[in-house]
Amino acid sequence: ERDGFEGTNIRAIAAEAGVAHGTVLMHFEGKQALLHTALFEDLERTWRAAKRHTKQRSLEAQLVALAKAFFDYYAARPVLSRALLRESLFASPPWSERYAEQVAEVHAHVAGLATEAKRRSELAPSADVALLGASFFSFYYFALLAWLQGGHPDPLRLFRGMLAQHLVGLRVERS
């Protein structure tokens, strides 16, 4: 975080950790693998915690809480977040598969929340829960990128607005 991804090298990491340069390379192929390992595990913890806090609320509140957990994670480390996002979007195996699995798990969770919302008559029976999951990610990534690139000061507010507008068309009409 202090030196940025580009400004960091394996020798400096090893020196700060008090180990030999080769020791770091025994465990990680390079600094990209080290970045992926460290931050992927952080994102996994963030995901597990966020998932626990999406119960007993409206669908909109649940989805906003999920997005907020990840936005808070990235806001706590904006420099590394830019590097992680750049590196994860174009990662090579095995990281590309791990990120894809994580996205699929979140997508399935969002679809499950939407299915429950349909059962509570919060969403129209015709609402496509898989498409809602894809919309969630579309809004989430757009808001995250807009914030990381300096185009929007508050990713949660942007996400919330896009989600609210989208959900209007999916709600059950009340007479």
Give residue-wise pLDDT tens across range 145-168.
Answer: 999 889 999 999 999 999 999 999
Q: Dihedral angle at the C-alpha atoms of 86, 87, 93, 94, nearest 10 degrees?
A: -120
**C-alpha–C-alpha distance, residues 26 and 14, integer Å:** 11
Question: pTM score > 0.75 for this model?
Answer: yes
Per-residue confidence (pLDDT) for residue 175, from 0 to 100:
54
Strand (E) or helix (H) holding 27: helix 21-27
Distances in Å between the Cα of 36 and the Cα atoms of 2, 25, 33, 45, 146 are: 17, 14, 5, 14, 22
Provide the 3-class DSSP secondary structure of residue 123.
Answer: strand
Per-residue confidence (pLDDT) for residue 119, from 0 to 100:
95
Per-residue confidence (pLDDT) for residue 174, from 0 to 100:
63
Closest CA to 129 of 83, 70, 170, 95: 170
Identify the segments of the chain with pLDDT beneath 50. none
**C-alpha–C-alpha distance, residues 29 and 126, integer Å:** 48
Helix then strand then coil, in percent of the chain rounded to 5, is 70, 0, 25
